[in-house]
A and B are shown apart, each in its own frame.
Chain A
Amino acid sequence: MSFRRSHLLHLLIWMCIFVLAVRPVERLDEGIEWALSPLRILAEPAWPLIWSEGQSVQAAEAARDRASDYAAEAERLGVELLALASPTRAELLEGRDLVPAVVIGRDDRDSDRLFVRVTDTAALHPGLPVVHGDTYVGRVALVDVERLEVAIDLVTGPGFAVGARLVDPPSSKPIWMAVGGVYSAKGQPAHSVQRLALVVRNPSDREAPGGSVVVGELLADIDPFASLAEGYGLGTLVEYSSNEERSLLADLDYGAGIFHVHILCPEGSRAGATGELELAISDPDWRPTRQLSAGDPSSWRGGVKIAAGASVGVERGAALISDLQLIGRVERVGAWTADVRLLSDPGLSLVAVARQSGDSEPRVLGRLTSLGPDSTGEWIRFRWEAVVGFRHEGGANDVLHARIFTGAGDTGLPAGLFVGDAILSPDIDPVIGAPLVLLRRESNLGSGNLWVRTSSESTP
């Protein structure tokens, strides 16, 4: 009897483990990672196997030279991306002051809330409009004066609404509407690659023609900052169709294409403000570390264990770099160890920008998801999630050569880190059903110069 009872107990325990492996509970996963963190002492004796992978002195010197090049390029990239996020039309600058901000992350529980860092908060208040270039992004929700951080509610939030008007084609009678939230058409495939659409509510003319829509508040007195956002673009109103709700094709990839923004303030409110946005790669939130494993025992995975964990401020999503080149991102964090997914690990994702060869202007790529190495092993395939705003002048099947850098917006992954040289193919790949980015595979592990991003402070 007791024999059967113990077997039943084993079976029940195993079934719980089985179910939780397939349907993970995040808190439990974190707890297990913490509980298993002392297993690090088992991995330590394997150091001779890992050490044998180390690089030569010449290679280390070459890596240092490369790192210096990457730092210079990252600095230039940061300036250029900020410039790309600045309004261009004179009428959109008139009567306003701009506070530049760099995106540092998103709310884990609300992806429609963005966190940005600014150089000063003196002129900032909840409700101020936020823009990217000539496009409206959302409103300031919270200002953290001590940490110089600001939370922004994006126009994609389900409860968000901003007044708007149709400006093109011009009409004798103004057409007003409210815009906010993400529109999803019925029967839309889950992983289709398409432009994001915003919900249009209460249009003054339900059968208005399609065209350009900008911010415009009919009742401007309700919102003291409404006039500041006046004229900033929202997108293109989709042509009227009798059996569908009206929607607006967005001009921005709000999910992964915003790296810098500007907060609009009344003119003169920023008098005396100073300071420049610092590059994250030169801040002190980096910590040297070393690998505890040479690679994952599953040959189709790309990952290593590192000797740094939550006890030194490592968080999920943190970047691991070697000589200023991105190696991977932290997947799970224990007390003294962390699991890092390398770029070659299927499922790793990051936001990215590209600089094409011979092109001075960086291009926002948005989110890339790794599909692992290709059959030759020389390239890592990345699924290119959304080709919003990417200007591809080439013909069909054309490929573009570019250098890839990280963008901003993913927690723990600062902008400007060099990812690698790549080939971009903006046409949809028939096998994966999305455009493809092929990243040249490089292995910087074993160089001994690994740094992991730590969090000295959390988001507001």
Chain B
Amino acid sequence: MAAGIESVLGSRRTPLLSLGWLALWATLAFTLSGLLGQSFGAWVPDPGVVLLIGLVARTRPAGLWSAALAISAGRVAVGIEAPLAVFAIYLAIAGAHASLCRFADGQRAIVRLVGGALYSGVVVLWLIGVHESRSSVALGLFERAPQWALATAVSTAIATVCLSPLLARIPGLGEWRERS
């Protein structure tokens, strides 16, 4: 049973405390992102992708799945998007990036840059798609979706590369620094 839980969480080398810290910092980052979004709109980076690609994937790709769960929990704690939609997309990113890391070095800046841009754009499009599909009335969000996705992709790509070395120095995220 315990082995099963550890398997779902990614690996037995990821302590729950580290995931708790990651979830906490993700929550704060998403709160800040919601606050900044009121002024800067879609130009605010996706903190989930930044943490997942800029921190976890760079230092410990094996922990991507469990980190995706922790980051999703952080977003669900402060956001109003459908929880399943949030879990689905961050787990998908974890899966996609884990596959990518088999062929490319996740520590290289170009991989983080492209990954950050691609994944954050997909997050925006996915959440818009889910919201439209759940609505009984056509909301017309798809018309503006590409420009929102592009803005978020650009800012997230930059943030993923620039903040990546700093993230592991945040208190509580030392687990990721030790292995970097």
Residues of A participating in the B interface, judged by any CB pair closer than 8 Å: 6, 10-11, 14, 17-18, 20-24, 29, 32-33, 36, 39-40, 42-43, 45-46, 49-50, 53, 191, 292-301, 303-305, 331-332, 339-341, 345-347, 349, 369, 371-372, 383, 431-432
- Report the nearest B residue to A337, measured CB to CB: B77
Evaluate contact between B37 and A295: CB separation under 8 angstroms. Answer: yes
* Beta-carbon contact of B79 and A10 below 8 Å: no
Shortest B138–chain A CB gap in Å is 7
CA distance A296 to B30 in the complex (A): 8
Chain A contact residues: over half helix, strand or loop, or mixed? mixed
* Residue-wise interface mask of B (18-56) relative to A, using a CB-CB cutoff of 8 A (1 in contact, 0 not): 000001100110111111011011101011000000000
A17 to B69, CA, bound (A): 13
Of B101-109, B111-119, B129-137, the segment with at least 4 beta carbons within 8 Å of chain A is B129-137
Contacts of A304 in B (CB 8 A): 80
Decide: B85 and A21 in contact? CB cutoff 8 A.
Answer: yes
Q: Kindly state the separation between the CA atoms of A345 and B131 in the bound complex, as whole angstroms.
A: 11
Given contacts A49-B32, A299-B148, contact A20 B141 (CB under 8 A): no
Instruction: Known contacts A297-B47, A299-B44; decide if A347 and B139 are in contact (CB<8 Å).
Output: yes
Q: Per a CB cutoff under 8 Å, which of A24, A53, A331 touches B80?
A: A331
In the complex, how many residues of chain B place their beta carbon closer than 8 angstroms to a beta carbon of chain A?
55
A194 CB to nearest chain B CB (Å): 15
Question: B24 and A45: CB pair below 8 A?
Answer: yes
B82→A297 contact, CB < 8 A: no
- List chain B residues, Cβ under 8 A from A36: 73, 76-77, 83
Complex contact B95–A14 (CB within 8 A): yes
**Closest residue of chain B to A431, judged by CB?**
B140
Q: How far is the CA of A433 from the CA of B116 in the complex (A)?
A: 37
B7 contacts A by Cβ under 8 Å: yes
Q: Decide: A39 and B76 in contact? CB cutoff 8 A.
A: yes
Q: Is B127 an interface residue (CB 8 A)?
A: yes
Smallest beta-carbon distance A65→chain B, Å:
26
Q: A293 and B78 in contact (CB under 8 A), knowing A42-B27, A299-B44?
A: yes
Most buried by A among B31, B44, B76, B128: B31
A300 vs B129: C-alpha distance when bound (angstroms): 12
Nearest residue (CB) in A for B129 is A22
Cα distance, A220 to B42, chains bound together (Å): 65
For residue B35, which residue of chain A has the nearest CB? Answer: A294
Partner of A369, one of B38, B130, B137: B137
B-chain residues with CB within 8 Å of residue A42 when the two chains form the complex:
23-24, 27, 73-74, 77-78
Provide a sorted-by-A list of 10 A–B residue pairs whose CB atoms are within 8 angstroms.
A11-B95, A21-B130, A22-B85, A22-B129, A296-B34, A297-B30, A299-B40, A301-B131, A304-B80, A347-B137
Q: Are A49 and B84 in contact (CB under 8 A)?
A: no
- Neighbouring A residues of B95 by C-beta, 8 Å: 10-11, 14
Known: A20-B84, A21-B88, A43-B27. A298 touches B79 (CB 8 A): yes
State how many angstroms separate the Cβ of A112 from the closest Cβ of chain B.
Answer: 17
Render B119-158 as a binary contact track against A, CB cut-off 8 A, 1 for contact. 0000010011111011101111100100010001000000
CB A342 to nearest CB in B, in angstroms, measures 9
- Which residue of chain B has its CB nearest to the CB of A22? B133
A296 contacts B80, CB within 8 Å? yes
Contacts of B65 on A, CB cut-off 8 Å?
10
Contact between B84 and A24 (Cβ–Cβ < 8 Å)?
yes
Q: A46-B78, A305-B79 are in contact. Are A17 and B91 (CB under 8 A)?
A: yes
Q: Are A49 and B35 in contact (CB under 8 A)?
A: yes
Known contacts being A298-B127, A299-B37, is A6 close to B7, with CB within 8 Å? yes
Q: Which of B34, B85, B144 contacts A297 (CB 8 A)?
A: B34
Interchain CA distance A122-B88 in the complex, whole Å: 55
In the bound complex, CA of A369 to CA of B27 (Å): 30
B158 to chain A minimum Cβ distance, whole angstroms, is 17
Check B82 against A21 for contact (C-beta < 8 Å): yes
Residue of B nearest to A330 (CB): B80
A167 to B91, CA, bound (A): 66
Set of chain B residues within 8 Å of A296, measured between Cβ atoms: 34, 37, 78-81
B91 adjacent to A346 (CB under 8 Å): no
Whether A300 contacts B84 by the Cβ 8 Å rule is: no
Residue B75, interface by CB 8 Å: yes
Contact across chains for A53 and B35 when beta carbons are under 8 A apart: yes
Closest to B81 in A: A298
When chains A and B are docked, how far (Å) is the Cα of A432 from the Cα of B139? 9
**B76: chain A residues within 8 A (beta carbon):** 36, 39
Task: Contact check, B141 vs A17: say whether CB atoms are below 8 A apart.
Answer: no
**Complex CA–CA separation, A345 to B88 (angstroms):** 22
Given contacts A22-B130, A45-B27, contact A297 B75 (CB under 8 A): yes
A29 touches B35 (CB 8 A): no
What's the least CB distance linking B124 to chain A, in Å? 7
Given contacts A293-B30, A296-B81, A298-B81, 10 further A-B contacts (CB under 8 A): A22-B134, A32-B83, A36-B83, A45-B28, A46-B31, A46-B78, A49-B31, A298-B124, A300-B148, A305-B77
Task: Give the chain B neighbours of A300 by CB distance below 8 A.
Answer: 42, 128, 141, 144, 148
Min Cβ gap B167→A in Å is: 17
Q: Shortest distance in angstroms between A38's beta carbon and chain B's nearest beta carbon?
A: 9
Does A295 contact B139, Cβ atoms closer than 8 Å? Answer: no
Nearest-neighbour CB distance to chain A for B16, whole angstroms, equals 14
Which residues from chain B contact A347 at a C-beta distance below 8 Å? Answer: 131, 134-135, 137, 139
Q: Which residues of A contact B92 (CB under 8 A)?
A: 14, 18
Contact A18 B88 (CB under 8 A): yes
Least CB separation from A295: chain B residue: B34
